[in-house]
Amino acid sequence: MDTRVKESKLDPVTLEVVRNALPAISNEMALDLQRTSYNMMIYEVRDYCTALLDPEGNLICQNVGGVSHFVADLGVLITDGMKRYGREGFKPGDVVITNHQAVAGQHLNNIVIYTPVFFEGELLMFAMVRAHWIDVGGTSTGFGAGAHVADPWLEGLQLDQLKIYRGGELHEPLYRLIKDNIRFPESSLGDMKSQIASCRLGMRRMEEMFKKYGKDTILACIRQIYQETEQKCRNVVAKIKDGVYEAESFLDDDGVTKGERVRIHTKITVKSGHMIIDLSGCSGERKAGINSRTYAGARVAYKALTGPLDPVNEGSFSACDVIIPEGNIMMARYPAPMAGWSQMLPLVVDTIIKALAPAMKDRTPAAHYGLLGGGVVFFGVHPKTGRRFVVQSIEGGGWGGRPTEDGESGTVTVCQGDVRNASIEGIEMKCPVIIQNRSLRQDSGGPGKFRGGLGLNVNAKNLVEGRWNLDSPRRMQCLPWGLWGGMQGDAEEKFLRLEGDKQEFKKVEANRYPAPANAVAWVRTGSGGGWGDPLDRDPAMVQWDVIEELVSEKSARENYGVVLKKDQSIDAAATDALRARLRTAQPA
């Protein structure tokens, strides 16, 4: 924020009005985007974020429920844009479009639109929307090109801080270039217009606030909000015993170099309310497209620990230093492929939480499924209309058991905010695909005093020829862990049956996999680990899980030591005896 602005004495009522008005603006921007977009990934799945930032790249506000792993990588775009154009290079009516991985550090589908916010001729802010386009050319159709893409040029169009509008005038050559190089121009360019409209709404709302309260008052309020947010975070961290905490995990491989683990290691230093998250021990950048340039894993974990329900702003991270050296898998050097940039981020978050578990036992959950959800992506050409179509849905998994309750089932990861799966009705109405089943996976949640959340079973049948994206995450060996005696959750897997009900499902790990009509894809999403010893779980809770078909009678007996009668009532004597035997058999 501009330090030249004269400090003014703030009255507390005005401060609270501004504190609540800023997130309300970004929330209204989000609603405007959602209601006007063309793409199911935006209006249904909600894979986007809306924000206001200052010219130094500090985050003023972001919509509640926005994709949380976008939060760390907005300011870098503003600082890069300011280097490119300078403060005098932005004019009212300008609209910038960008997705370039050298700065954005994500897959190219995540398109950013931002506009300068002026008041009385002075550049004070930027309104920004990052949203997932269904296609940016190359092999990007759907959720993105995946880990197998060798470089950004194969992935799709690279747009590097380009002005699609200059002083309110559309840059026609750039618009045509984008239109001619993507498969769904009506959708993607419609989404671009929705993003622009959302930004312009944010501009109007900020102009109203500047006129009502004055520039100096608004900017002073923002500084005060930063300071108070930072202090609240410090107060939480101050309750953690000073020290150094470490943990690690891994992916089985990167999808290209088979059998070579991708290491995730975190070293956390806590001292007097300040936290340092050091990810230097993680794998170096890879040839596979799971690289990124992002602090998101560390920042999402820190926010979850310090103020998960509070609006986010730059003060949310001021008391946390993140160390990721150049050449690290999360600070990869362009043109390292980044098409699967977010695949490992939820696992990074879980690893950070795991490191702090000994110091925060009463607040720390077991691991959730730790991947970005079982994507259901199918695309082709509709034979009746001749138009291209794409089905997209993010299917959630199970979260880890918690100190006081079970983990949530069928929920997207901590890195995905308010993202949700696409509705069955929406998919079947718009595309030639039938969702045959979407249900919870019985027995998938890690057993514990508080059970891990369950993953999902999703079966989707394509009625026309097309291609499936079925690139499974690499996490069969490092399963979602339990804590304090809780057991691990299940892995995610994807299968395909090409034709005929009698044919077996075969495991498939590929994007753009050709499938004839009437093939069936089967996505089994992962689940959460358990918290605490399963033998300490209330037998009545186990009984209820069996009645609801979340847990089988076999698992109730073998994992929880609960014996049920034929009428599914609890056999108390048999349960006590079985639990005593199982406790005796447990390793010391």
269-319 pLDDT, tens per residue?
A: 999 999 999 999 999 999 998 999 999 999 999 999 999 889 999 999 999
Q: At 42, is the pLDDT very low, low, confident or very high (cuts 50, 70, 90)?
A: confident
Average pLDDT over residues 542-556: 98
DSSP 76-99: HHHHHHHHHH-GGG--TT-EEEE-
Compute φ and ψ for 329, nearest 5 degrees.
-60, -25
The tokens for 367 are: 């691991």
Q: At 499, is the pLDDT very low, low, confident or very high (cuts 50, 70, 90)?
A: confident
Q: Which amino acid is at 555?
A: S
Indicate whether 390 pLDDT > 90.
no
Q: At 255, is the pLDDT very low, low, confident or very high (cuts 50, 70, 90)?
A: confident
Instruction: Tell me, letter by letter, the H, E, C secondary structure of 115-157.
Output: EEEEECCEEEEEEEEEEECCCCCCCCCCCCCCCCCCCHHHHCC
Q: Rounded CA gap, 292 and 545, in Å?
A: 40
Instruction: Tell me which of 264 and 150 has the higher pLDDT.
Output: 264
User: What confidence score (pLDDT) does residue 259 get?
Assistant: 83
Q: At 501, is the pLDDT very low, low, confident or very high (cuts 50, 70, 90)?
A: low
pLDDT per position as a tens digit, 446-455: 999 999 999 9
User: What confidence score (pLDDT) does residue 370 get?
Assistant: 86
**Is-contact 429 541, C-beta < 8 A?**
no
Q: At 4, is the pLDDT very low, low, confident or very high (cuts 50, 70, 90)?
A: very low
User: What confidence score (pLDDT) does residue 101 get?
Assistant: 95
Residue 221's SS3 state is helix
The tokens for 5 are: 């602005």
Count of residues in the chain:
588
Indicate whether 547 pLDDT > 60.
yes
User: What confidence score (pLDDT) does residue 5 get?
Assistant: 41
The tokens for 148 are: 């197998």
Average pLDDT over residues 126-146: 88
Q: At 481, is the pLDDT very low, low, confident or very high (cuts 50, 70, 90)?
A: very high
Q: Rounded CA gap, 454 and 31, in Å?
A: 30
User: What confidence score (pLDDT) does residue 6 get?
Assistant: 45
102 CB neighbour count, 10 Å cutoff: 15
pLDDT per position as a tens digit, 325-357: 999 999 999 999 999 888 889 999 999 999 999
**Which residues lie across from 165 on neighbouring strands?**
95, 170
Q: Rounded CA gap, 322 and 333, in Å?
A: 18
User: What confidence score (pLDDT) does residue 500 get?
Assistant: 65
Lowest mean pLDDT among 245-249, 420-424, 441-445: 420-424
**Which residues lie across from 103 on neighbouring strands?**
none
Residue 243's SS3 state is strand
Average pLDDT over residues 232-257: 95
Q: Which residues does 543 contact at the CB level (< 8 Å), separation at least 6?
A: 556, 562, 564, 568, 569, 570
User: What confidence score (pLDDT) does residue 257 get?
Assistant: 85
Q: Rounded CA gap, 449 and 466, in Å?
A: 45
User: What confidence score (pLDDT) does residue 473 get?
Assistant: 66
Average pLDDT over residues 176-201: 96
pLDDT per position as a tens digit, 518-545: 999 999 999 999 999 999 999 999 999 9
User: What confidence score (pLDDT) does residue 7 get?
Assistant: 45
Q: Report the chain's mean pLDDT, rounded to a whole number.
A: 92
Q: Where are the domains of the chain?
A: 12-230, 365-532, 539-585
User: What confidence score (pLDDT) does residue 41 get?
Assistant: 82
**Is-contact 453 409, C-beta < 8 A?**
yes
Q: Which amino acid is at 185?
A: P
Average pLDDT over residues 178-194: 95
CA dihedral of residues 544, 545, 547, 553 (deg, nearest 10): -120
- Name the pairing type of β-strands 456-462 and 520-524: antiparallel
- Name the pairing type of β-strands 274-278 and 320-323: parallel
For the beta sheet containing 510-515, the strands, ordered from the edge strand earlier in sequence to the opposite edge, are 388-395, 374-381, 466-470, 510-515
The tokens for 222 are: 């923002």
The tokens for 388 are: 């291209």
Lowest mean pLDDT among 50-59, 144-153, 281-290: 144-153
Indicate whether 71 pLDDT > 70.
yes
CA dihedral of residues 512, 514, 520, 524 (deg, nearest 10): -30
User: What confidence score (pLDDT) does residue 502 get?
Assistant: 63
For the beta sheet containing 320-323, the strands, ordered from the edge strand earlier in sequence to the opposite edge, are 243-251, 262-271, 274-278, 320-323
